[in-house]
């Protein structure tokens, strides 16, 4: 059930990733593209066409593409979700879920309130130099509505933005096909989570058209400074294409988990954690261990626990286990850590007897879960740090989403005259070395003025 591989076998299979811009186009995707667009288009071309329409036609394009892609009929007045609809959503969500959302929101807010970036100034380099740190003005959060209503992701993106001081946070989420007599609205738990996160507006728009609306702006949806949040391949392509019009947080791919475990690990817990991440369609769940006995026990537990899960989850897990998951037998824990650093996973879990002894050795991971009581599902929902973390090996150079992502830094240069005069010759020489004569002239203009002024002063004396 849960395959066991050598390091060499894993390097040739499980540990190899496709390039982030490689998209497998299925026959179903081709058929749907022909149905919607009337011709064969690549996913990139399809997204480009949607974005072009949104940019030129605004709300009219949002309505048309929501009808074509989601098969939901919207009016312009229904794009923005009304406060009364948000209040009514509480009646459709279990009270215990509302309590859990509020508990998660409180911990997320507490964690991200510990913001370390702040404005600073120094006079040690002549005059005043420094950096002013300010929050972004307006942030858009995208929440998908496909296989699961990701209310937790809304909290994990909107709340850090709020803690950073962003003035306006808005959410786009696709509308559900409305029941008879009901309005087309996002999932009720998304509306409740948005209310708990104190977002300023919610829009019932999904897909690439939502990304275009937040990037370019429409009559109903004002353009934002930055777009955050996950989505399917078309949403990710849309984020890629609007980058530069606005900022984006990342280009997220399927979730991935690596568990490093030794003989002391509980095989039932390890199996449960692997299954939890394999539940995400296309997810990767890897166990790295020097213990074949543990590997075999975990494999057995995967089969036992999988059999007890409901069908929708089981179907997604079986697909993930077949293609992107398994156990790798390493020489020792040091080799397991080295492999993990090469793979640079989104989540790295240390299920070993002395986890803190290995924390400093972890160089590339979105998040490190230290010990078996810090299991990843707690991080997914209520631990505090955002679960929006780098995927696809980007943990080599990227970081988890935090309040820092919603700040911008402005350099302040206020040199005094003496310092400017002192460093000007170096600036002129560098400008001339680069062949930029006008740059050098701007320096020489000041230097001549300074020399003339100094001569006038000397003559006066």
Check 112, 187, 280, 347 and give the catalytic one.
Answer: 347
Name residues whose C-beta falls within 8 Å of residue 214's C-beta, 6 or more positions apart in sequence. 140, 142, 170, 172, 221, 223, 224, 227, 246
Check 256, 346, 372, 376 and give the catalytic one.
Answer: 346
User: How far, in Å, CA of 198 to CA of 201, rounded?
Assistant: 9
User: How far, in Å, CA of 194 to CA of 157, rounded?
Assistant: 10
Residue with tokens 């290995």: 358
CB 69 within 8 A of CB 232: no
What are φ and ψ of residue 414, in 5° steps? -135, 70
CB 188 within 8 A of CB 151: no
The b/e string for 322-361 (b: 16+ C-beta within 10 A; e otherwise) is eebbbbbbbeebeebbbbbbebbbbbbbbbbeebeebeee
DSSP state of 243: B
Based on the residue annotation, tell me whether 346 is a catalytic residue of this protein: yes
What are φ and ψ of residue 460, in 5° steps? -65, -40
User: How far, in Å, CA of 449 to CA of 308, rounded?
Assistant: 83
Element (H, E) at 132: strand 128-135
CB 309 within 8 A of CB 275: yes
Q: How many residues does the chain have?
A: 461
Pairing of strands 407-414, 347-351: unpaired
First to last CA, the chain: 94
Based on the residue annotation, tell me whether 331 is a catalytic residue of this protein: no
Cα dihedral 363, 364, 369, 371 sign: negative
CB 228 within 8 A of CB 405: yes
Catalytic residue numbers, as ranges: 346-347
């Amino acid at each position: 059930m849960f395959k066991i591989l050598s390091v060499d076998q894993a390097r040739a299979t499980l540990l190899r990733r496709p390039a982030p811009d490689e998209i497998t186009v299925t026959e179903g995707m081709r058929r749907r593209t022909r149905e919607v667009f009337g011709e064969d288009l690549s996913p990139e071309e399809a997204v480009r066409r949607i974005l072009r329409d949104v940019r030129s036609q605004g709300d009219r394009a949002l309505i048309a593409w929501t009808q074509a892609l989601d098969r939901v009929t919207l009016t312009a007045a229904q794009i923005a979700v009304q406060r009364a609809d948000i209040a009514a959503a509480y009646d459709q969500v279990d009270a215990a879920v509302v309590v859990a959302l509020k508990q998660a929101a409180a911990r997320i807010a507490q964690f991200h309130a510990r913001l370390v970036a702040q404005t600073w100034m120094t006079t040690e380099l002549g005059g005043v130099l420094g950096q002013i740190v300010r929050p972004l003005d307006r942030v858009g959060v995208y929440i998908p509505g496909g296989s699961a209503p990701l209310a937790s992701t809304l909290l994990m993106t909107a709340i850090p933005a709020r803690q950073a001081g962003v003035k306006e946070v808005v959410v786009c989420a696709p509308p559900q096909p409305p029941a008879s007599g009901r309005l087309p609205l996002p999932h009720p738990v998304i509306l409740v989570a948005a209310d708990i996160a104190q977002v300023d507006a919610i829009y019932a728009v999904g897909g690439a058209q939502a990304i275009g609306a937040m990037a370019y702006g429409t009559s109903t949806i004002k353009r934002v400074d930055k777009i955050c949040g996950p989505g399917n391949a078309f949403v990710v392509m849309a984020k890629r294409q609007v980058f530069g019009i606005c900022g984006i947080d990342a280009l997220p791919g399927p979730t991935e988990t690596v568990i490093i475990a030794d003989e002391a690990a509980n095989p039932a817990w390890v199996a449960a954690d692997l299954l939890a991440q394999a539940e995400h369609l296309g997810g990767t769940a890897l166990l790295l261990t020097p213990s074949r006995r543990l590997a075999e026990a975990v494999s057995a537990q995967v089969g036992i626990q999988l059999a007890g899960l409901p069908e929708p989850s089981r179907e997604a897990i079986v697909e993930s286990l077949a293609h992107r998951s398994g156990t790798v037998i390493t020489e020792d824990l040091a080799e397991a850590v080295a492999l993990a650093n090469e793979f640079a996973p989104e989540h790295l879990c240390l299920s070993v007897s002395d986890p803190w002894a290995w924390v400093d050795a972890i160089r590339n991971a979105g998040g490190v879960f230290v010990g078996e009581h810090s299991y990843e599902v707690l991080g997914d929902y209520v631990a505090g740090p955002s679960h929006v973390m780098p995927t696809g090996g980007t943990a080599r150079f990227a970081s988890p989403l935090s309040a820092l992502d919603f700040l911008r830094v402005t350099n302040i240069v206020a040199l005094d005259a003496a310092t400017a005069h002192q460093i000007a010759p170096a600036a002129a020489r560098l400008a001339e070395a680069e062949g930029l004569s006008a740059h050098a002239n701007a320096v020489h203009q000041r230097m001549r003025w300074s020399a003339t002024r100094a001569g006038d002063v000397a003559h006066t004396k």
